[in-house]
Each structure stands twice: as C-alpha cells, then as structure tokens.
C-alpha cells in the first residue's frame, strides 16, 4: 500500500523534489571570480567581514549553486506560468468562491495539523484542530465554509517539519525546491511525509487517480496555494534577495517551531 | 560618550514632545487621533488596521505593471542583475475615461510596489485619478535602467532621470486621456518631487497642477547621518554584536507569537499589539529603523559599485553571474553606512564632474538649495510630522518656513507612519481634488495644524 503511494508520488507530483535532492550534492556555491591583476578594493571584504564575528545571514547552504539555479527556475515558472494563471483565477473567479476553495483545501490540511499537533503532545492545539475539522467538514459543508474560526477555534497550522523540529531535529542544509521554494532538509522530509499522509487520506475518501479528480484537485491546490502567498520574485529591490529570503525562511520556521 | 549622546537625544526628544504638546494646545488641534505617539514606533508600525482609511484593496483596482526599456541601456546591465534587464518597472492604474493623472515617487530603497505606493494607487484611483507609480532612483531597477550615472542622491540629476522616464511612460500609453498632471512623493521621493516640479517649470512637459511632498528630509545628508547613527549607536557592544541584537529580536517575536497564537504574525496588527504589550525601548526601535535603512544603503552601494566597476567593495573586473553567491558582499556592504557612500563614492564622483566641494554638494541635497522656488510657488503643499525622527532638531521649523500657508504638520506619526491614517488620506486626496484656487478650504477640513 505505502509502496504504491510512494511510487505514485515519485512518478508524478514530487518528481522534481526527488530529482533536486539527488542532484543537489553535484553543485556547490559559485564564488565570485576576481581577476588576478585586479587592484584591491577600497574596502575589501576581508577588512569588513571578520572571521570571529557571527552573522545572522550565514546559513548552512552547501548546495548554494544548485539552490540559486532552482531559485531562478522558480522565478521564471512564477512569471510565465503561475502568476498569469493566478491572475486569471482572481480576475474571473469571484472572491467568495475563491475563499470557499481556500477553506476547502485548508480543511483537508487540518488532517495533518491534527496529527502533528498530537505528535508534539500539544493537547490544546490537537483539540482545537480536531474540533475545527469536525465542525468545518460537517456544518461547513466539506470545509467550504470556515465556521470553526467564528466558534473560537482558529487555524493553528502544524506540519511534520515543525514536529521534527519540536523533537530536536536540526534544519540540515538549506534547500530551494522546485515549485515549493525555500526549504531545508528537515522541512523537505516533513513536506514529503505530510504529502504521503494527505495522499493516503485522499485515497481513503475515494479521491484517487482512478476517480479522475486527483489531477484537478492538485491543479486547484497549486493555484490556491500560490494565490495566498504575497511574494513576487525580484521585486524586493534588493540584489541580496536570495540571502534575505533564506534568512527570513529559516528564522520564520524557528519561530513556528517554538510556538 | 555614547551615553551622553543618548541622554542628549532623549532630552531633545523630550523637549520636542513638550514643544509639540504646547504648540498643539495653542492651535486647538487636539482631535488628531492617530494612535501611536512614539515617533519610532509610528515609523515602524505604520497605521494599525482600525485606523486606516477605508479604501478598495489593491487586488480590487485595475493596477497593471509595465516595463520601460531605454534603447541601449539593457545591454550594459551586468549579468548578476539579469532580472533587471526587462526594463524599468512601474505601475499604472488607469481610469476608463479622461481623468487627471497623479505621478507618485517612492522613498529610499522602495519600489513602485511598496505598501505606501500601493496606498497612493488605491486612494487616488478611488478618487477618480489615473495613477502612475515610479521606483525610487535609489533602487537597482531604476539605477540600472533609468539613471545616467547609477550614483543616486544628486536631487537635480535624479529629477532629470525621473522627468525623462515620466515622459517615456506617457509615450507608452498614447490611449490614456489625461486632463491634467499632479505629482506626489514620500520621504526621499518627496524631495525628488520638488526637484521634478522645479524642472517642469522650465521644460513644461506636464505643467503640474499640484504637487504634494510627504515627510521629506530637509537635508538628505543630515538625515542619512542620523539614520546611520540610529543603527550604530544603539546596538549594544557595537556592530560586531549585531547578531546578538538580531537573536534577541527574533526571540522576542517568537515569545510574543507563542503567547498570542490568535494574532497572525503576518497581519499588520502583530507589531502594534506587540508594541502595546511589550513597550520596547526607544533604543531598540531606533536600531530597528537603522537596520531597515542600512539594508537599503547596502543594496545601493553594491549596485553602484558593480554597475560602475568602482572597485569599492567588489574588486574591479570581478566576474559575477546570476548564480554567484553574494553572501560575503551582503555582509560587507552592510558594514558600510550611507555616509560612507556619500563621502567615498558620491562626493568624489560629483566633485570630478562639477568641481564643487563637499560642502556645496551636501548643500545641493537640501530643500534650502531651492528655497526661492519652494517659497514662491503656490502649487506645492507639504504634509509632515512634528516628531519625524529623520529630522535633526529644529529642521521641522525650517521645512515649515519653506511652505508658507501650505504646510500641514501633524503632531505625531513619526516618519511616514501616519500616511495610511484616515485623516491623512482624506487630506491628500482632497488637496488634489479641490480646484487650484480653493486651497484654503482644503486646509480647514482637517485637524492637523496648518502653518
């Protein structure tokens, strides 16, 4: 059973993730090439950056060369495919319906929220997320309406990457995943695990490859997910956007793991 | 020494606050209800949700992004900035019918998509204007695509670049029916607006009807000195200990998030609520403002260094590609300040070009250098705050004197923190909506103090 799911995932949805993980070690960071006869800069890096000083921006990134390539791939995927699709979606689909779609996917993700809250022994969150799932699935008509938030049970997301972090797993190397963006080894492991659980859950409720709905499901999930992220590549105005995003992602995850 | 300076700052600040209180009492402007009195907190937090002007969401207005390519420019952009080769980016939100058009210029380090620029888009589109948002001449997209020198900060030259691209933008939209042109800018963008308006008096391509300057520095050099010091003076143990300050900051956010699971970290009220509960020290908040400014100046330094092959931090001729690691350069340029840029890049370049010495060049970055124009024109209005922390002591009064009868100065708001507050938005929109011979009425509808 698990075997078929894994095969299915590898053959289709997560192909690129796996490909990335396999290829990553082949590429390390590309360092600037300084001409041999270049005069020393007015403020050389070695004068401004000290070895004995810690810098928040230094994050373990042994596959930086590959990561930067995937970053560029993601930026172009965004520009030529995802953003135009999302724009069409937001232009032609009324916001009420979009909200319903968003609630529907959030509700399905609540399954892993419950599991991961439980795995982190967080009683309050597990209860909160369980009540959410039950009430939104029933009264909220399969999750299309988020009635739970109004009842005092707000969304409290927990993923398997957070669970691993909670139990002390380190981040591992920073990774930029195709389609998914910033991650690290711990969170990629979490992402794959949560996806397996979700796929299993969807299979159980009859949404599988044979039903023909799975393809549509993932397309809509992709659009909804992208539409909810207020980030556009290369619009930060900073030439150090890769570094900045790497820092924000890493620190943001620490905050989420600590809660 | 540091302590004495800090004490001095605190005293000046206290004096400033007292002065403000009395000034307001005497003018009866007590009903201004922007909720954050602390200048630094206002600058960081902006306007909390409940106090914002009610406007359509950015996603609900027909804002469209465009790129403008100047012939020949693109080829000279270094590969490391490959993503800027699409041209100068700007946003146009157009009305369907003939309408007045507002050009908006962003502040230091901000693009046409910054939240304050989106505010202009939402407010002025909602009021029936076409709106064009333009990047600050200090961001890489502008420096590489629209600047003659990629050495920003010379207000007169920046204005020439801005003016040129404003004309090109209009050429790109011949279908747009424009009844008249207006101009607005915040922070450094406000200074730019003044110089663009002055240039337009000669060139007359737009014949601007009205111009508004929001929170400009009086003297750019004085303000960058102050902003540099906000960071360097307030990191305990100096810049080598920045990491400790940063860890503390993240831990505080983390703790607050943990204690308040109901407030989303991404919501704009997270900071406001954290501020009210935790009461961070002024020194901590000054440092944070300094950090934000330092990030902008580091970006600018790196771009000008590479684009001009200056050999400033990056050795001359260094090969950088789209996938080169820039981490070491980010660390290095963040250890330099804006003042270093002025002294070591800006002044030498413009000294060679114009023969002017440093004092003269610094003076050129001041609004006082165009005093005659500002005091005599009646088309430019000022919106500012008594407690703007980028100004040195006494500078607010000098600024006010440049806009006789045309300065709206609010008691609080810090640096641009109150721009989204409903009174401020009403004031901006009404200023442009009201006919040109009707300015006095506009002033009286508001609660700030009209000088």
Kindly report the CATH number assigned to the domain that includes residue B194.
3.40.50.1820
Token couple for B218 = 């009086």
Q: What is the distance in angstroms between the Cα of B57 and the nearest Cα belonging to chain A?
A: 12
Question: Are the CB atoms for B230 and B291 separated by under 8 Å?
Answer: no
pLDDT at B13: 44
Going residue by residue through chain B (451 aa), what tens digit of pLDDT does each one get? Answer: 334 444 444 444 444 443 444 444 334 345 899 999 999 999 999 999 999 999 999 988 999 999 999 877 888 899 999 999 999 999 999 999 999 999 999 999 999 999 999 999 999 999 999 999 999 999 999 999 999 899 999 999 999 999 999 999 999 999 999 999 999 999 999 999 999 999 999 999 999 999 999 999 999 999 999 999 999 898 888 888 888 889 988 888 888 988 887 777 777 788 899 999 988 999 999 999 999 999 999 999 999 999 999 999 999 999 999 999 999 999 999 999 999 999 999 999 999 999 999 999 999 999 999 999 999 999 999 999 999 999 999 999 999 999 999 999 999 999 999 999 999 999 999 999 986 434 443 444 344 555 4
Distances (CA, A) of B328 to A202, A246, B81, B305: 46, 14, 17, 15
List B63's β-bridge partners, or say none. B93
Domain limits for position B267: 223-361
Do B166 and B54 fall within a single domain?
A: yes
Distances (CA, A) of B159 to A116, A240, B196: 56, 27, 5
Which residue, chain included where needed, has tokens 């430019």?
Answer: B380
For the CA atoms of B268, B270, B272, B276, the dihedral, rounded to the nearest 10 degrees, stands at 170
pLDDT at A211: 66
pLDDT at A209: 62
Q: Say if residue A10's pLDDT is above 50.
A: no
Question: Are the CB atoms for B87 and B69 separated by under 8 Å?
Answer: yes
pLDDT at B451: 47
Do B213 and B246 fall within a single domain?
A: no
B391: helix, coil or strand? coil
B340: closest chain A residue by CA: A43
Interface contact B258-A56, CB threshold 8 A? no
> Is residue A17 very low, low, confident or very high in pLDDT (cuts 50, 70, 90)?
low
Do B78 and B173 fall within a single domain?
A: yes
Residue A41 has its nearest CB partner, among B59, B246, B311, at: B311
Distances (CA, A) of B149 to A11, B84, B143, B343: 52, 16, 8, 17
First to last CA, chain A: 35
**Looking at the 3D structure of chain B, how many domains does it have?**
2
Q: Which of B311, B339, B361 is the last residue of a domain?
A: B361
pLDDT at B437: 37
* Cβ-proximal residues to B358 (8 Å cutoff; 6+ apart), any chain: B343, B347, B351
How many residues comprise chain A? 259
Do B68 and B165 fall within a single domain?
A: yes
How many residues comprise chain B? 451
Do B279 and B390 fall within a single domain?
A: no
Do B242 and B348 fall within a single domain?
A: yes
Interface contact B257-A259, CB threshold 8 A? yes
Strands (E) in chain A, as ranges, are 174-177, 181-184
Do B121 and B175 fall within a single domain?
A: yes
Do B71 and B148 fall within a single domain?
A: yes
pLDDT at A254: 92
Question: Are the CB atoms for B107 and B188 separated by under 8 Å?
Answer: yes
Say if B349 is an interface residue toward chain A (CB within 8 Å): no
Range 131-160 of B in CB contact (< 8 A) with A? 135, 139-141
Which residue, chain included where needed, has tokens 């804006």?
Answer: B338
Q: What residues of A are in contact with residue B80 (Cβ under 8 Å)?
A: 239
pLDDT at B450: 53
Do B227 and B293 fall within a single domain?
A: yes
Do B272 and B283 fall within a single domain?
A: yes
Q: Say if residue A5's pLDDT is above 70.
A: no
Do B214 and B340 fall within a single domain?
A: no
Q: Which of B317, B339, B361 is the last residue of a domain?
A: B361
A181 DSSP assignment: E
């Amino acid at each position: 059973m698990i075997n078929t799911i894994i095969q299915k995932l590898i053959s289709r949805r997560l192909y690129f993730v796996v490909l990335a993980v396999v290829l990553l070690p082949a590429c390390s960071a590309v360092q600037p090439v300084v001409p041999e006869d270049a005069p020393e800069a007015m403020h050389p890096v070695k004068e401004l950056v000290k070895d004995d000083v810690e810098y928040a921006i230094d994050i373990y990134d042994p596959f930086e060369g590959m990561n930067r390539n995937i970053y560029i791939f993601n930026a172009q995927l965004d520009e030529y495919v995802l953003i135009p699709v999302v724009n069409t979606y937001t232009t032609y689909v009324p916001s009420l319906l979009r909200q319903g779609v968003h609630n529907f996917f959030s509700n399905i993700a609540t399954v892993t929220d419950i599991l991961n809250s439980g795995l982190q022994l967080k009683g309050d969150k597990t209860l909160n997320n369980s009540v959410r799932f039950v009430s939104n699935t029933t009264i909220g008509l399969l999750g299309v309406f988020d009635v739970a938030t109004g009842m005092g049970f707000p969304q409290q997301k927990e993923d398997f990457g957070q669970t691993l972090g909670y139990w002390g797993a380190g981040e591992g190397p920073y990774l930029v995943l195709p389609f998914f963006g910033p991650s690290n080894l711990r969170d990629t492991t979490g992402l794959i695990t949560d996806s397996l659980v979700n796929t299993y859950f969807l299979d159980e409720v009859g949404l599988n490859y044979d039903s023909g709905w799975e393809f549509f499901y993932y397309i809509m999930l992709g659009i909804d997910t992208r539409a909810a992220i207020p980030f556009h590549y290369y619009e930060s105005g900073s030439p150090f956007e890769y570094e900045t995003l790497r820092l924000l992602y890493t620190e943001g995850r620490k905050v989420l793991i600590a809660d | 020494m540091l302590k004495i300076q800090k004490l001095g700052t605190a005293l000046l600040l206290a004096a400033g606050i007292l002065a403000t209180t009395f000034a307001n009492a005497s003018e009866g402007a007590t009903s201004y209800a922007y909720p954050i009195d602390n200048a630094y907190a206002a600058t960081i937090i902006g306007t909390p949700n409940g106090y914002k002007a009610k406007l359509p969401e950015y996603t609900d207005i027909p804002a469209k992004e465009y790129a403008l390519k100047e012939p020949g420019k693109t080829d000279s952009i270094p590969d490391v900035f490959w993503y800027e080769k699409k041209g100068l980016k700007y946003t146009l939100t157009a009305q369907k019918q003939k309408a007045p058009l507002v050009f908006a210029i962003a502040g230091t380090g901000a693009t046409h998509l910054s939240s304050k620029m989106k505010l202009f888009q939402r407010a002025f589109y909602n009021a029936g204007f076409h709106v064009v948002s333009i990047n600050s001449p200090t961001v890489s997209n502008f420096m590489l695509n629209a600047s003659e020198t990629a050495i920003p900060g010379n207000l007169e030259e920046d204005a020439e670049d801005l003016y040129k691209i404003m004309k090109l933008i209009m050429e790109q939209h011949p279908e747009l029916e424009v009844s008249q042109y207006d101009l607005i800018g915040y922070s450094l963008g406000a200074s730019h607006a003044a110089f663009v308006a002055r240039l337009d008096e000669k060139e007359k391509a737009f014949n601007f009807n009205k111009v508004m300057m929001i929170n400009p520095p009086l003297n750019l050099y004085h303000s960058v000195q102050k902003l540099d010091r906000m960071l360097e003076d307030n990191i305990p143990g100096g810049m080598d200990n920045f990491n400790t300050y940063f860890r503390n900051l993240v831990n505080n956010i983390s703790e607050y998030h943990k204690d308040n699971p109901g407030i989303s970290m991404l919501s704009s009220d997270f900071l406001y609520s954290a501020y009210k509960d935790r009461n961070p020290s002024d020194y901590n908040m000054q440092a944070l403002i300094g950090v934000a400014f330092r990030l902008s100046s580091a970006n600018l330094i790196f771009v000008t260094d590479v684009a001009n092959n200056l050999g400033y931090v990056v050795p001359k001729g260094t090969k950088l590609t789209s996938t080169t690691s820039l981490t070491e350069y980010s660390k290095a340029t963040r250890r330099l300040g804006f003042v270093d840029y002025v002294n070591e890049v800006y002044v030498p370049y413009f000294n060679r070009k114009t023969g002017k010495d440093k004092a003269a060049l610094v003076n050129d970055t001041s609004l006082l250098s165009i005093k005659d124009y500002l005091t005599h024109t009646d088309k430019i209005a000022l919106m500012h705050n008594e407690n703007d922390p980028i100004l040195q002591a006494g500078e607010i009064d000098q600024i006010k004197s440049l806009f006789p009868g045309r300065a709206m100065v609010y008691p609080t708001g810090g640096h641009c923190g109150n721009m989204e507050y409903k009174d401020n938005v009403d004031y901006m929109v009404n200023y442009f909506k009201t006919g040109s011979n009707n300015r006095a009425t506009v002033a009286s509808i508001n609660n700030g103090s009209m000088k």
